[in-house]
Amino acid sequence: MPMLELAVLFGYFFVLIILGMYGWHRYFLVREYTKHKDRAAGPVPVVPDNELPMVTVQLPFYNEMYVVERLIDSVAAFDYPKDKLEIQILDDSTDETAQIAELAALRLEARGFIVSYLHRTDRTGFKAGALDKGLNVAKGEFIAIFDADFVPEPDFLKRTVPYFLVNDKLAVVQARWGHLNADYSLLTRIQAVMLDGHFILEHGGRNRAGCFFNFNGTAGLWRAAAIPDAGGWQHDTLTEDLDLSYRAQLKGWQFLFVPQVVALAELPVEMNSFKSQQHRWAKGSIQTCKKNLPQILQADLPFKVKFEAFFHLTANFNYVLMLALSLLMFPAMVVRYEMGYAEWLVIDLPAFFLATFSVANFYSFSQHEAYPVTWKSKLKYLPAVMAVGIGLTVNNLRAVLEAVLGQESEFKRTPKYGVQKAADDWQHKKYHQSQLLQPMIETALGLYFTSAFIYALYNGLWGSLPFVMLFQFGYLYLGLSSIYQQFVADEAPARAHVS
């Protein structure tokens, strides 16, 4: 066999095997989730109103004029003693949002709420800086945090705060994210499935197994004393929540995930906003990996905790492998066809099974757990979920490389438009994000896999077609959606002006 063909096959199978190991890790999480059901969060401890502690609710945001009033109103509706509830409006806005938020604060103050409006003009530390500024003057023993796109239920605090009162070592209670607009589009349906998997099985599995998991930056509470004890909010990563979570657990603090408490939030409806969010999370996780993983591996912790932290914090490095797999799949398919590929199935199929079926199993099981009655109706979105995970390769690989190379970037919040139903408009609103080069690369990769699809179809490589189609759809969907939505967003103001 020529050396070039051998190198192609070796690289292809090497990448598949590594991805298969991370696919096996998904089975591990499902196993830990089901094995330790007895360790799930129990019923809410009963605490009379007169024994409830002071809670500070922090609402950090930046230029969110379409949703911030909705958030403030939902927090004002909390079923919690008003004299034990402090609301901090942490506003870094530079547009009309500032006036909307300040007026909302004045209305709350007139209704007898303990409220403070803290406006910054320099955005030092971005969200972490705003949270730290609020923490320095907070009155609460516990800190609840909600991003601008959330709409928590009135009983949120009463269903979470009591857990702290029966465990002095508990630092965080994290609720599950729900979805205000999951049925808005294919993109929002895909995101809903992905987030359900993250919360139900990643958080649930890790928490039940006694491993570290992370506060998600919103829809959860901190014991105020635990934050400075763990080193406080730091802004040398884009995921200040993940960073602080690991530092706190290294100090011995405990976390609790309560999946039965669901805080609804608005999912991004614009492809470029979705990509921006994924880029921030991927880059921040690698920054946190570089910062904290060496300490975790050297700490006096059980092997399983270190093992799980390693897979958690290194997962986004897979996007390097995904790009390699994307480039190698077509030539490897050609080489195997020309040499007679049957003998390679003993390696090929098991690796693909681990790398792909594990994803389907992971998300289908999480849907069953989250929606016991309707979960089967959501299974039809699993191929699209897998395809989008592949299509994010270019976007998240760029994030990984920026983190590895130490390239700093601004904290770009994910803009929301107050979109909850199909009739709601976002095209005529502000905050659109633009990309050009990256969608073109994604589209080019999609066309590359279109060629691979035609080759496989012509040569009767039926077993390869499903995998090729996942890559083809994923890249084309992300690339063309970005280009199309950017064109729609650019044209919408002009059309509105003409009309």
Q: Alpha-carbon dihedral of residues 372, 374, 379, 382, nearest 10 degrees?
A: -80
Phi and psi torsions of 177, nearest 5°: -80, 135
Closest CA to 80 of 162, 172, 168: 162
Spatial separation of the C-alpha atoms in residues 55 and 84, rounded to whole Å? 6
Task: Report the relative pairing of strands 220-223 and 142-145 from DSSP bridges.
Answer: antiparallel
Catalytic residue among 147, 196, 241, 243: 241
User: Taking the CA of residue 371 as centre, how many other CA atoms within 13 Å lie in the half-sphere pointing to its CB?
Assistant: 15
List beta partners, residue 174: 220, 257
For 251, residues 6+ apart whose C-beta sits below 8 A from its C-beta are 226, 229, 230
Spatial neighbors of 16 by CB under 8 A, at least 6 apart, are 325, 347, 348, 351, 352, 355
Three-state DSSP at 305 gives helix
Please give the DSSP secondary-structure letter assigned to residue 55: E
Burial 115-131 (b: 16+ CB within 10 A, else e): bbbbebeeeebbbbbbb
Quote the CA–CA distance of 78 and 101 in Å, as a whole number: 18
Are 395 and 478 contacting, i.e. CB atoms less than 8 angstroms apart?
A: yes
- DSSP class of residue 342? G
Q: Let me know how long the chain is.
A: 499
Q: Is 122 a catalytic residue?
A: no
Of the listed 92, 149, 243, 348, which one is catalytic?
A: 92
Q: Is 92 an active-site residue?
A: yes
Active-site amino acid positions: 92, 241
